[in-house]
Structure 1
Amino acid sequence: MSVSEQDFALLVEVVGYVGATLTTVAFFPQTFKVIRTRDTQSISLAMYVLFTLGVCFWLAYGLLIRSFPVVIANVITVVLSGIIMLMKIRERRDLPPTIKDIDGI
């Protein structure tokens, strides 16, 4: 059974949309929990800084290759991860420094 180029292109788009949707939706529970509880103590700031930067690069990549699923997923994800990251930065700024904070991440 042979798959036409058109069918293959459609399959590629569907896979892209499903992957983009699942990875983007995965951020909603954490973002809503952080907004609701205002608790970011157990979240790694370094991870969110690196992750958000990586998502910005994925967004740029999506724009360069003109891939709608990549662009939309990463616009939403950068907003969600950015909210968590900014709330973490705000929490750290409001707390007095500890030895752990001074020693590293």
Structure 2
Amino acid sequence: MSAEPLLRRPIARYRGGGRVAACPFTKDVVADTLGTHPVPRRRIAGKHIRAVRHSTVPVRGYRSGPYVLAIAPEHAEVSTYDWSNHDRGDDIDAPWVPVAAHFEEGREAAVIVPTKEVDL
């Protein structure tokens, strides 16, 4: 397993009448359960990198070999904080926040991390 995970998005496969997460490259169904997986701070993009407290940040998703398959905020079944009306010092009680991240294929997209891991 690679020392630094590669950040990707999972794809959906259909098994037994339902959608399941799969690796976008191998097309294999992800066997691991949904959890938080540490990715290097340098994978966090733009203004969000300054908010990350540690050298790694736990990102919500699946682990599949060298990949962390990160869940987008819109696909998460968890409560996330809405940044659209953010004022510094807001009392934020949502357990998750979306932050921008650099994905392996060269784009930036949102991932969700525990609120306690970032300074708002």
User: Please, what TM-score do these two structures have when normalized by structure 2?
Assistant: 0.20
Structure ID, larger Rg = 1
Q: Report 1 or 2 for greater relative contact order, CA contacts < 8 Å, sequence distance ≥ 6.
A: 1
User: Please, what TM-score do these two structures have when normalized by structure 1?
Assistant: 0.22
